[in-house]
Amino acid sequence: MIIVMKKNSQKEEILKVSHQLQEAGFHCHLVEGTEKTIIGAVGDKSRLMNIPLEALPCVEKVIPILAPYKLTSREFKPEDTLIRVGNITIGGSELQVIAGPCAVEGKEELLLIAQIVKQAGASILRGGAFKPRTSPYSFQGLGEKGLQYLALAREKTGLPIVTEVIDTASVDLVAYYADIIQIGARNMHNYALLKKAAKTNKPILLKRGLSATIEEWILAAEYIITADNPHIILCERGIRTFETYTRNTLDLSAVPIIKYLTHLPIIVDPSHGTGKWRWVSSMAQAAVAAGADGLMLEVHPCPEKAFSDGAQSLNPDNFQKLMTNLNNLAPYISKKEKLNHA
Ligand code: PEP
Ligand code: MN
């Protein structure tokens, strides 16, 4: 529930109310606005019997949050959450493009593609060092070497890096190198991993599970926020449907729905969403038109030779063309002013 405190409530009064709630077993989160302070309290309502909240002189009103998710809900926090990574903001007025290879394949290849995506206007570099592959025979990633190459690419280009963590054992290692920790579709339901990754306090890019409903996805984000990490970026990457022409069905309706239900930024990954490079540009532009805060795109210097996901990776030319289109279109088709060129 949300407890709206009266306009000129004193700090002590606010702390007293949240203390009483905590004693009754509630988790409290204070949001101090310019006008009013609200207390978000999550817990068992039947334990409120001894706390006459609405009768307290400092309390203006008590609003129940009906959705199963609480702290991620728009009801709880009406303003958009902005995620800051270096001098980049995700969720603000600029469209952020995360680009890079599916997997880090080698030092030279990564440095080359990092330069290419930066020059084209990407603001964050992606690349998997630990790959959650469907087949155990497929390339599993370079592990820590891959993280080191990503760190080197960041040093050379200034681009922050996002990379996936696939198990609890490697959370600290990945957090040591990454600016943003990615939790992949296959791990969206791995609650131990969500909680451990949250504890690093790094921004978490949470992909939608292969067959997750929007509610299940937001509840996964709720695991992160209740572990005291509000720095969450949701990523729509397509879901499994009966359609097999595309690898997944990119659910662009998730973009306005997530914005309506939550205060978190949402980006779209049309690479995994379609599985074929030919459809990536159209869906990237559609995602921006739908209001996405950013895009995640797989780009490879030579997709035919990629160790993984070559079929859905853009080559440098096609990536550059898409970025030019986005630069021209973004101000007209969404609230975004322009691409970030930081
Ligand atoms: C990826 O981004 O490389 C990836 C494995 O994506 P997903 O978890 O969406 O399949
Ligand atoms: Mn991939």
- Looking only at the bridges linking them, the beta strands covering 204-207 and 232-236 are parallel
Question: What is the CA angle 273-207-227, rounded to 5?
Answer: 170
Mean pLDDT score, 274-302: 97
For the cut 60, the answer to whether the pLDDT of residue 151 exceeds it is yes
Atom 8 of ligand 1, residue of closest alpha carbon: 184
Instruction: Give, as residue ranges, everything with CB less than 5 Å from ion ligand 2.
Output: 102, 309
Contact 166/184 with Cβ under 8 angstroms?
A: yes
DSSP letters spanning 239-279: B--S--SSSSB--TTHHHHHHHHBSS-EEE-HHHHHSSGGG
What is the per-residue pLDDT across 238-269, written as a single tens digit (0 to 9) for each?
999 999 999 999 999 999 999 999 999 999 99
From the alpha carbon of 187, which atom of ligand 1 is closest? 8
For the cut 80, the answer to whether the pLDDT of residue 50 exceeds it is no
From the alpha carbon of 186, which atom of ligand 1 is closest? 8
Atom 9 of ligand 1, residue of closest alpha carbon: 185
Q: Is 38 in the pocket of ligand 1 (CB under 6 A)?
A: no
Q: Is 238 in the pocket of ligand 1 (CB under 6 A)?
A: no
For the cut 60, the answer to whether the pLDDT of residue 318 exceeds it is yes
DSSP conformational letter for 27: E
Mean pLDDT score, 72-101: 95
For the cut 90, the answer to whether the pLDDT of residue 49 exceeds it is no
Q: Which residue has the tokens 């890019």?
A: 205
- Residue 27 sits at φ, ψ, to 5 deg, of -90, 125
At residue 335 the predicted structure's pLDDT band, cuts being 50, 70 and 90, is: low
Q: Is 128 in the pocket of ligand 1 (CB under 6 A)?
A: yes
pLDDT of residue 200: 98
Q: Is 196 in the pocket of ligand 1 (CB under 6 A)?
A: no
Taken in order of first residue, the domains within the chain and their CATH numbers are 2-63 (3.30.70.1140), 83-332 (3.20.20.70)
Q: Which residue has the tokens 């969450």?
A: 232
Q: Is 100 in the pocket of ligand 1 (CB under 6 A)?
A: no
- More confident of the two residues 170 and 78: 170
Candidates 32, 36, 45; CA nearest to 5 is 36
pLDDT of residue 126: 98
Q: Cα of 207 to ligand 2 centre, how many Å?
A: 12
Per mean pLDDT, which range of 30-39, 157-166, 264-273 is the poorest? 30-39
- More confident of the two residues 307 and 55: 307
From first CA to last CA, the distance across the chain in angstroms is: 40
Angle subtended by helix axes 144-157 and 107-120, to nearest 10: 40
- More confident of the two residues 26 and 174: 174
Q: What are 304's two structure tokens?
A: 């035919």
pLDDT of residue 244: 97
From the alpha carbon of 132, which atom of ligand 1 is closest? 5
**Closest ligand to residue 310's CA:** 2
Atom 5 of ligand 1, residue of closest alpha carbon: 184
What is the rounded CA–CA span in Å between residue 250 and residue 208? Answer: 11
Contact 297/316 with Cβ under 8 angstroms?
A: no
